[in-house]
Copies of this chain bind each other. A is one copy, B any other.
Amino acid sequence: MDGVHYLLDLAIILFAAKLFSTIGKKFGVPEVVGEIIAGLVIGSAVLGVVKESDFLSIMAELGVIMLMFEAGLGTNLQELKSSGVKATLIACAGVIIPLILGTILFMSFYGFDSFGSERFMKGIFLGTIMSATSVSITVAALKELGKLSSTVGTTIVSAAIIDDVLGIILLTVVTGLSGGSQSESVSSVLLKVPAFFAGAIVTGFLVYRAMSWLDGAYSHHRRIPIISLCYCFLLAYLSETYFGIADITGAYVAGVILCNLSDRDYVARRVDISSYMIFAPIFFAGIGLKTSFGAMDSRLLMFSVCFVIVALVSKVIGCGGCARLLGFDSGDSLKVGAGMMTRGEVALITAQKGLALGLLTADYFTAVILMILVSSVVTPVILKKLYQ
């Protein structure tokens, strides 16, 4: 990176994100969507004035971590407990349906084959890519609508967190089945996931006690939000590095642990300001920034379009249908289904793993990126419509 070029990048990203989100708002489009489009416009897809860099990736990651930490802080523990069983079932349905439909989609394009064959495995893998919800966009959209702590909001967020864990297990099983040497053993994953949550709960209890004491002694002191943020970063680091669980899940859990702190709003406000001033716009614009439309033949284009449609619809059927069966009314079921449609970096990471294992060719990346982009743009718009 030459000199202080990152300053120009920051100025352009923050300005464009604010400009497009403001314009979007005038047309009733959620701010998040405006920010993603800003990234598309300034990125290589259109103007090409800002390029991806390591620095921007880290800033974007910090943005989504802070977003999830805030979501955790805003959690109503009672609500979370009561939504637990339902959220788990919704998450399961939201993984199984896309997995099945994704496999069928692949085979209907490239030919059906028997269980265990290479073509079948490729189909399963494409289904796996479809299965992981990325909740950050939904969190931002719900926050904008003021519905993050509602029953539907809590259900979506907790289902997405469970979905994340299911996604890891699924990926491990699939790569294990296809015999990749770099894949982790299923049993190790099945040990690590409960170990993380058990560890987080036990240490979280101690952290909460310590923070409560500190908060009682130094209410509304800067040290409260700063140390809370340290804890968030630490848990995000530990979850990703030692337990194979996404850093954003760690950040969310850190937020949940601190969500009953009496200074909870004071902390959330400070994290929110840091986030919206710099980090969050970089994350949302970063989604657009990453997108470039490579050369595509008509078959791949057709496949990509179907891929995106199946990805969206399968979550609505899986999660929304399950919610309906669990007693949500049809409006709320649709909201749950729509809220779970967003895909993100987990899909990309899974696709990269597939590339390394030879289960995927680079061509399919365009389909995956399209799915991330379309779901990120469509979800907030649909959620807003549903809440009107």
A contact residues vs B (CB 8 Å cutoff): 1, 3-8, 10-11, 14-15, 18, 22, 54-55, 58, 61-62, 65, 222-223, 225-227, 229-231, 233-234, 236-237, 240-241, 247, 270-271, 273-274, 276-278, 281
If A18-B227, A227-B15, A277-B229 touch, does A4 touch B55 (CB 8 Å cutoff)? no
Contact between A11 and B233 (Cβ–Cβ < 8 Å)?
yes
Chain B residues within an 8 Å CB radius of A271: 277
Contact between B7 and A65 (Cβ–Cβ < 8 Å)?
yes
**Pairs A–B under 8 Å by Cβ, sample size 25:** A1-B54, A4-B237, A4-B240, A4-B247, A5-B237, A5-B241, A7-B236, A7-B247, A8-B233, A8-B234, A10-B62, A10-B230, A10-B233, A11-B233, A14-B230, A18-B223, A18-B230, A54-B54, A55-B55, A226-B281, A229-B278, A270-B273, A270-B277, A274-B274, A274-B278
Interchain CA distance A22-B222 in the complex, whole Å: 11
Chain B residues within an 8 Å CB radius of A222: 18, 276
Contact between A8 and B237 (Cβ–Cβ < 8 Å)?
yes
A346 → chain B, closest Cβ, in Å? 14
Chain B residues within an 8 Å CB radius of A237: 4-5, 7-8, 11
Which 3 A/B pairs are nearest by Cβ-Cβ distance?
A7-B237, A11-B233, A11-B234
Interchain CA distance A15-B270 in the complex, whole Å: 16
- Out of B7, B22, B274, name the residue touching A277 (CB < 8 Å): B274
Taking each of A8, A18, A58, which has the highest tally of chain B beta carbons within 10 Å of its own beta carbon? A58
A234 → chain B, closest Cβ, in Å? 4
A65 → chain B, closest Cβ, in Å? 7
Closest to A17 in B: B226
Interchain CA distance A274-B281 in the complex, whole Å: 14
Interchain CA distance A15-B278 in the complex, whole Å: 21
Contact between A3 and B241 (Cβ–Cβ < 8 Å)?
yes
A126 → chain B, closest Cβ, in Å? 26
If A4-B61, A237-B7, A240-B3 touch, does A229 touch B54 (CB 8 Å cutoff)? no
Contact between A4 and B226 (Cβ–Cβ < 8 Å)?
no
Instruction: Identify 11 new A-B residue pairs, CB closer than 8 A, beyond the known A1-B54, A8-B233.
Output: A7-B233, A14-B226, A14-B230, A18-B222, A18-B226, A22-B223, A54-B55, A226-B276, A229-B278, A273-B273, A273-B277
Interchain CA distance A317-B272 in the complex, whole Å: 46
